[in-house]
Chains A and B, each alone.
Chain A
Amino acid sequence: MKAVRLNFMQMLRQMKHDPMLLAITFTPILIGILLRFGIPFAETQLTNYMEMECVISPYYELLDLLLILFTTTMFNLVAVMVVLEEADEHLISYLSVTPLGKTGYLFSRFGLTGIISLVISILVFAMFHLTNINVIMLLGVVVTSAVQGIGTAMLIVTFSANKVEGMAIGKFTSLFTLGALVPFFKNGRVQYVFSVLPSFWLSKAVKQSSASFLLIAILIVAVWIFLLAKRFTEKLF
């Protein structure tokens, strides 16, 4: 565990040397501030202007969910960038033949980042939430979101040759979070076109307050990870 901890600290040190990575970790707070103070303000202005009872407020749950998804996505993106740089410098092969090993390396990059993103998601939600989600559901959502973040990180690493490609694929995979919009805007069977996206099921879970949808989301991420595992490990080791 000592090697895992030290290798995680090494990732923090690399972030210190890269202002972009450091900046990415603060974006959930900026988005949270915008959400917490900007959205209610915009809602007041819009309802007054349009003389309607509500405009954005029916979607507050969705915005809270997007904030959680965004937080885990950003933290995993940082891990992805560090991993791609380490792959470029052949460091992963070397770290695999130290007491850290392959498993220790993966845990120090994706496991610990996932856990930290989970904790930060809860904190960001607690500080900037627009709605009240019950604690059990909140925990379910952040855990699923963190697992989805790990799956997405694996996807980016697998299909990127370097950091630049990683950024491009990272932008593309951020579109996967848009699956969360579907249950709020589409009814009927057509919505299930997006059912391969875990964010779709997360959104359904929040909208319908049903934890069973979270299990479907986790199952889908598990399928992603299963399909990616071989290519992912070949790429890294």
Chain B
Amino acid sequence: MNGISIFVQQLINGLSLGSIYALIALGYTMVYGIVKLINFAHGDVMMVGAYAGYFVLCAVGTTPFGMTLAFLAAMVMCGLLSLVIERLAYRPLRNAPRLNSLITAIAVELILQNVMRVLPFVGPDPRQFPTMPTKMLSIGIVSFSNIQLIVIVLSAVLMVVLNYIVNYTKTGKAMRAVSYDLGAASLMGISVNRIIAITFVIGSVLAGAGGVLYATAYPQIDPVMGYIPGLKAFVAAVLGGIGSIPGAMMGGVILGIAETMTKAYVSSQYADAISYMILIVILLVKPTGILGKKTHVKV
């Protein structure tokens, strides 16, 4: 294997990781775009998705049917979970100072992590996620595993579906309206509560899928597994432009590739720290992110 093929290999690894980051980043960016809240609990919703997939796969096995079921279970579970969270913890605080909502989001994150730790059938110890047998496929100088293929393709499919929903459906139009001006949207007859709930659900469904994909690629799961990918996904969302859906997709992929390249060519231990440094650099250079727009404050 020569240098080029290693490079391309790492690129594919990065694309695969980045797709997962993108899926999670989408949830952050959509929620921030619509209610200006950094949903700290989002990474842990992804963790719940991974566990949901885990239990299904343990019961049914890693057949294609089992995997499909696992994804569905994760997505449904996460969707319902976020409905509950939004209704109980976030909606009452919608008009409160932002600080309060942020603190509540942090509290929700900690509750999710620690509930999973104390639940008897879960527990704090890491578990091995059932994986399908790995098959390597080669095209020319490039080889990738079937798992990576699934990750990339499935993420792409989900993002296409999301894009369709946001840009070509009435609900998507309502979501965009609410993200521009909540007050005006509600005056136009849009049920703001419903739209916000839908936004949370869509984001969490994607995170659920992302959780199963992440566990498939990195098969060890534990209750705190969502924290670091969640943080990185947020960096990705900021990188792409927080509030921008294409931005989150782009940011996720860029971050995934950057992290993989750093691990391969620079330093494996500091790769995480470097990802976070990217955040600080972006804020210095272009705080609105790659695809973000500057908004004017009216005085």
Report whether chain A binds chain B: no
Residues of B at the A interface (CB closer than 8 Å) are none
